Amino acid sequence: MMKGGRQMQGGMKMGSGYQKDGGAGKHGRDAWEQDGSNGRGDYGNSRHGEYGYHEVKEHAGKDFPFNIYPCSIPADFRQVPVHWHEDMEIIAVKKGRGMVTVDMEPYEAREGEAVVVFPGQLHGISQCSSEVMEYENIIFLPSMLMTDESDLCTYDFLRPMTEGGIRRPLHITDSLPDYGAFMECIRKMDQLCGQKCYAYQMGVKGTLFWFLGLIAGIWGPGAAGQPRKSRERMKRLLEYMEEHYGEKITVEDGAELCFYSNSHFMKYFKQYMGVPFTQYLNEFRLEKAAGMLLTTTEPVTAVAQRCGFDNISYFNRLFRRKYRKTPGEYRKNGENYLYGL
């Protein structure tokens, strides 16, 4: 049976502040650290074990909770693992194509397209085959546009859109009637934040109102509903894994937590996450182990056990398959990287 879960603390590191000079924000290269395997790794500073599902770190200042920054896959990171946050996010593809997965549904996003992710939606980003995708992340707290409940825009549009649980993301393609207007909004926000003229924040807010107004016009009344039960079940499961990855976790535990039979749970998990439950759990534990190897002096055996691997041979085999190095080699290479040896 499962142990009682604690509330998860922390989350993935996120950046704040716009950088237009070609350098990514903390969400991009600055948050990226090599994992020793061909200079590439996963998003979220995984070598330090900070991989999390529910992002709780502020993306920007409280006085202006808006951020925009460039990213590239795989130059900055191999993938952005599935996670969620309370911010709204616009993933605007500038070059190439990639796969944006939102609430179980994959969206192939190409140059000149964008995917809008609403607060609370589980989402991740990965490559399409071996193609490069350069994109811009626009991320903000919808509350920056809201006033009190007597305001019509807040009550009738913004709160239902951002707090009621939009049932699906918006994939902006040239097939949409307002495609040109959407792209102009993105271009304008990019320009405003790049130039940062006096009172540019007011221009950003106005453009966001325009952008969200276009979305409201597409969905129409009644588009916002209650969050999907399947999404909330997956969140509960991922938080449990985050808290208890060092303990024994079985398919039965996952099924019980999601209120499914074992067989239905296995189908549900693979459909949602793209890989079988056991494989995903092992990958997550390996990420944690890699971080511990570089930040502690604990023996490899102790690290393996802390990360839920009782069989050291099995751990070594999986670790070598993922990182192309033994745990000892990975630790040594990481120390050389950290100390410039």
- Closest Cα partner for 293 from 264, 257, 333? 333
pLDDT digit string (tens) for 160-189? 777 655 667 789 999 998 999 999 999 999
Report, as an integer, the average pLDDT of 254-266.
89
- Report the pLDDT value the prediction gives residue 119, as an integer from 0 to 100: 87
Question: 3-state DSSP call for residue 133?
Answer: strand
- The predicted structure's pLDDT at residue 249: 95
Q: Which CATH superfamily is domain 275-341 in?
A: Homeodomain-like (1.10.10.60)
Kindly list the domain boundaries of the chain, sorted by start residue.
29-219, 228-269, 275-341
More confident residue, 300 or 8: 300
Long-range contacts of 331-337 (CB under 8 A, 24+ apart): 331/293, 331/294, 331/300, 333/36, 334/35, 334/36, 334/47, 334/293, 334/294, 335/294, 337/34, 337/36
Most confident region among 70-79, 226-235, 315-324 by mean pLDDT: 315-324
- Four-way CATH pick for 29-219: 1.10.238.10, 2.40.110.10, 1.20.210.10, 2.60.120.10: 2.60.120.10
